[in-house]
């Protein structure tokens, strides 16, 4: 059971867009922006409030890759493993991040909710390979050492 404040936040967001079917995606985006994830229980509540079937709301949330039912860290690190990045050795960069943060394929977010590391198929920056994206900002030509340095810098900024 979620805290009442979650439902109050959802109500504020719904009021901004109105209780209409077209509000589903913007409401979901705003909730995820505030919480860094989309709690399933809250999605059910939103669907009911705006008059959308729960199955439809879940269908939208699972179709679009940017929605997550799992909490994300303050820093979302996307490691590109598309062809150009893979050839330019993105896997050692990813492995260095995993080692530095104590993460892996099964565990994607640090216990302190500071970092989430995910792989993506392409960031659209092939000429800058291998690339990482941190909260929407592209970091080009990464090496294992530069990736670890970036994480340490972000960690220091968060103190």
CA dihedral (134, 140, 144, 149) in degrees, to 10, reads -60
pLDDT tens per residue across span 83-104: 999 999 999 999 999 999 999 9
pLDDT for residue 1 is more than 90: no
**H or E segment and range at residue 147:** helix 144-157
CB 156 within 8 A of CB 112: no
Tokens of 74: 């303050």
Q: Identify the band that residue 79 occupies on the pLDDT scale cut at 50, 70 and 90.
A: very high
pLDDT of residue 65: 78
What 3-state class would DSSP assign to 39?
coil
Topology (CATH level 3) of domain 4-63: Arc Repressor Mutant, subunit A (1.10.10)
pLDDT (tens digit per residue) in 116-152: 999 999 999 999 999 999 998 999 999 999 999 999 9
Nearest CA to 74 out of 27, 135, 150 is that of 135
3-class DSSP assignment, residue 63: helix
State the pLDDT at residue 159.
81
Q: Which two tokens stand for residue 44?
A: 């059910």
Tell me where in the chain the CATH 3.40.30.10 domain(s) lie.
75-157
Vertex 18 angle, CA 13 and 20, to 5°: 120
Percent of the chain with pLDDT over 90: 89
Give pTM, 2 decimals: 0.77
Given a contact cutoff of 8 angstroms between Cβ atoms, the answer to whether 24 and 50 are in contact is: yes
Domain 75-157 in CATH 3.40.30.10: yes
Phi/psi at 61 (nearest 5 deg)? Answer: -65, -35
pLDDT surpasses 90 at 50 = yes
């Amino acid at each position: 059971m979620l805290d009442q404040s979650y439902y109050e936040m959802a109500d504020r967001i719904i009021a901004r867009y109105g209780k209409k079917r077209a509000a589903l995606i913007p409401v979901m985006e705003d909730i995820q922006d505030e919480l860094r994830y989309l709690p399933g229980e809250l999605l059910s509540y939103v669907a009911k409030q705006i008059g959308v079937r729960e199955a439809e709301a879940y269908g939208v949330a699972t179709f679009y890759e940017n929605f997550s039912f799992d909490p994300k860290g303050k820093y979302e690190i996307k490691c590109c493993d598309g062809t150009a990045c893979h050839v330019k050795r993105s896997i050692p960069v990813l492995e260095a991040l995993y080692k530095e943060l104590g993460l892996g394929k099964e565990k994607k977010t640090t216990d302190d909710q500071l970092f989430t590391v995910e792989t993506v198929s392409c960031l659209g920056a092939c000429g800058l390979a291998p690339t990482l994206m941190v909260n929407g900002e592209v970091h080009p030509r990464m090496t294992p050492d530069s990736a670890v340095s970036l994480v340490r810098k972000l960690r220091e900024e968060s103190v």
